[in-house]
């Protein structure tokens, strides 16, 4: 089982400037919650309760102030600094001590996932014993993403970064599951032409060893890269619409903790009582009432 998770919360947030001039993009609202709540709940839904948050020196304290050590929601949170953003794969060298001898999941902090089958897909990914598992989502503009081609039986055949002539319409979103060899693979990477340690190079290593597996999303899965103003607005409207239609919270760390049995009713009640008056408090209270 995968029992460690990393949220990469670094980057300069240049696509969301000027909002991100003074605050991390993961702390701005996605409808009624900070952006980082959504990737956190994805890891929690996967059964991962030991989570490392990696961010820049000037932003890490903001996450610590917001989330603390995670004990109030039944998880363990730790923090590491990414002194200079040098690619997604750098997360595994920064987090090497945290990972130890375990398997690990990595989710990019600005990625939003939601769907009826998400829990089942996550549990399938965490049940792996060897190799790497990535996801694929059908998109209309695959040339703007990393694109994966599969053999129809869950194994990757090819992987290309922003290809001019995509071999499929399946984009690779920012959620990855790896065995422990990812530490050595990442440690031995060479920077790409843009000066970064690329996650695609990590995945290509597994692909070349026939150890890269793909879980294909169904049509009900929604995925947003909320690193742009348009996508952030679209995702916010989606959450607002779904929460109103289904009368349940999406991306709530407290609700997810309660729903997965990490905290009990009394603990949830204490959390609610510590919150200021507002709609979020009222929605959480409905879980008890």
* CB-based contacts of 199, cutoff 8 Å, min separation 6: 87, 88, 89, 106, 176
pTM: 0.94
Cβ burial of 240 (10 Å; 0-12, 13-18, 19+) is: middle
Q: Distance between CA 262 and CA 247 in Å, rounded?
A: 22
CA atoms within 13 A of residue 10's CA, in its CB half-sphere: 22
Predicted confidence at residue 21, as pLDDT, reads 79
Distance CA 164, CA 144 (A): 9
Written as six digits, the tokens of 140 are: 């209309």
Residue 270: which residues within 8 A CB-CB, separation 6 or more?
Answer: none
Is cis: bond before 94, omega within 30 of 0?
no
Task: Collect all residues with Cβ–Cβ distance below 8 Å to 234 and sequence separation of at least 6.
Answer: 224
Residue partners of 184: CB distance under 8 A and separation at least 6: none
* pLDDT for position 169: 87
pLDDT along the chain (289 residues), means of 10: 90 76 89 96 96 94 96 97 92 97 96 91 89 92 88 89 87 95 96 90 95 88 90 96 92 96 96 94 91
Res 270: pLDDT = 96
Q: What is the pLDDT of residue 220?
A: 80
CA distance 261 to 127: 20
Q: Which fold, 4-139+173-251?
A: Spore Coat Polysaccharide Biosynthesis Protein SpsA; Chain A (3.90.550)
In the prediction, which pLDDT does 261 show? 95
Model pLDDT, residue 128: 84
- Residue 190, CA atoms < 13 Å, CB-side half-sphere: 1
Strand partners, 144: none
- The pLDDT, as a whole number, for residue 13 is 67
Long-range contacts of 189-195 (CB under 8 A, 24+ apart): 189/89, 191/86, 191/87, 192/87, 195/86
Q: Find out whether 217 and 115 touch, Cβ atoms under 8 Å.
A: yes
Q: Whole-angstrom Cα distance, residue 168 to residue 147?
A: 7
- pLDDT score for 213: 95
């Amino acid at each position: 089982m995968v029992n460690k998770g990393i949220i990469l919360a670094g980057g300069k947030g240049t696509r969301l400037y000027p909002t991100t001039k003074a605050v991390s993009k993961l702390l701005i609202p996605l409808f009624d919650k900070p952006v980082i709540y959504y990737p956190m709940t994805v890891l929690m839904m996967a059964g991962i309760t030991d989570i490392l948050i990696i961010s820049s020196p000037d932003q890490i304290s903001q996450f610590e102030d917001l989330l603390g050590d995670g004990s109030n929601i039944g998880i363990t949170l730790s923090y590491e600094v990414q002194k200079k953003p040098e690619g997604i794969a750098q997360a595994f060298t920064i987090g090497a001590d945290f990972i130890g001898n375990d398997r690990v999941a990595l989710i990019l902090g600005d990625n939003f996932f939601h769907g009826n089958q998400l829990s089942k897909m996550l549990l399938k990914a965490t049940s792996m014993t060897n190799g790497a598992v990535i996801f694929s989502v059908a998109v209309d503009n695959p040339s703007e993403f990393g694109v994966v081609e599969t053999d129809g039986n869950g194994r990757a055949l090819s992987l290309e970064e922003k290809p001019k002539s995509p071999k499929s319409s399946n984009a690779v979103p920012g959620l990855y599951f790896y065995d422990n060899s990812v530490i050595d693979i990442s440690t031995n990477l060479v920077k790409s032409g843009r000066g970064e340690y690329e996650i695609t190079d990590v995945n290509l290593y597994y692909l070349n060893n026939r150890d890269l597996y793909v879980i294909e999303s169904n049509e009900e899965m929604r995925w947003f890269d909320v690193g742009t103003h348009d996508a952030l607005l679209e995702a916010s409207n989606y959450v607002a619409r779904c929460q109103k239609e289904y009368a349940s919270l999406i991306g709530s760390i407290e609700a997810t903790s309660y729903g997965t049995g990490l905290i009990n009713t009394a603990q949830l009640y204490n959390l609610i009582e510590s919150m200021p008056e507002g709609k979020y408090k009222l929605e959480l209270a409905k879980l008890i009432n």
